[in-house]
Structure 1
Amino acid sequence: MKVGKIIGIAYNVIPVNDVEQSATWFVKHFGFNIRNRREGYLSLFRENRPILDLIQSENDTRAVFEVNNQKRWVITFFTNDILSLHNDLKTAGVNVRNISDEGKYGKFFVFEDLDGNLFDVWEHHDCELIY
């Protein structure tokens, strides 16, 4: 008998004010492609891999939480070139925080989307991610 197991995360859902405007922003900055467009909802993919689902929120809910009065993110993206990505986003006017080098844990930075959702970006060369 097979036992079902979680083998990964399929995608993450984030709330946005305007699905189309947010999708355009993510496509511009990260090269995602749009799929599964429905009323108030769409999916963003990297090639054939689902990444984010954007859902139009009826209130001011954001994908953030607080620890010690500091806003935190719920999603971390992975990159193989954090310096270039950080520079590209900063040059494009995206609200990005400074890169933090945490040694054996890798390098990180946080950015904010159009709706105030926070995302973490991580570069680590000793970690295997299977897509």
Structure 2
Amino acid sequence: MNTIIHRVGTIYLPVENPDLASNWYQEKLGAVENFRNEDKAILDFANQSFFLVKSKKGEKAAFQDEKGKEHFYLTFEVDGIEELKKLHSVLKEKVVTVGDIEDRGHPGNNFIFFDMDGNKFDVWSELSPSFKEILD
């Protein structure tokens, strides 16, 4: 399918303290900081630009599904189950709050993790086919 929109360029995340949050993302996830001021930090990782925007305490990127369960806004992809297990272990070693690796009934496995502000993320063991083509 041909489309005018080719990719998501920037993701905005609410954080209480851009300085501390930027350091957390750099240390825990290997992000690279491109800019920081008192209102935001701009990071690159996972082939995306992330803006960590200073927000009110308790704000986070999540929503409740129809059953009242908190849901994440985005899923990071890794290349295979071994990479998923490796990232899971690395995040646990870095004292990041992570969930168990689980089979959700679709190809691959997933786990969730939280940043220091309570933003909830998902990780999936399967690369999207279009991205895998780019890597090959």
TM-score, structure 1 length as denominator? 0.85
CA drift at 1:51: 3.3
Counting matched residue pairs gives: 127
Distance 2:72 2:15 in 1: 15
| Corresponding position of 1:45 | 44
Q: Confirm or deny that 1:84 pairs with 2:83.
A: no
Distance 2:128 2:61 in 1: 28
| Corresponding position of 2:99 | 97
Quick check: 92-101 or 108-117, which moved more? Answer: 92-101
Q: What is the correspondence of 1:16-95 to structure 2 with a 5 Å cutoff? A: 16-46=15-45, 49-67=47-65, 68-80=67-79, 81-95=83-97
Distance 2:95 2:56 in 1: 27
Distance 1:104 1:59 in 2: 36
Tell me: CA distance 1:23–1:126, structure 2 relative to 1, closer, same or farther (3 Å): closer
Which residue type is aligned with residue 37 of structure 1?
A: R
3-state SS, counterpart of residue 93 of structure 1: coil
Percent identical pairs in the alignment equals 28
CA drift at 1:103: 5.8
The structure in which a higher percent of residues are helix is 2
Residue ranges of structure 1 left out of the alignment (5+ in a row): none
Quick check: 56-65 or 17-26, which moved more? Answer: 56-65
Superposed CA RMSD in Å reads: 2.1
Q: Equivalent of 2:115, from 113, 116, 127? A: 113
TM-score, structure 2 length as denominator? 0.83
Quick check: 111-120 or 94-103, which moved more? Answer: 94-103
CA drift at 1:76: 1.1
CA drift at 1:75: 1.4
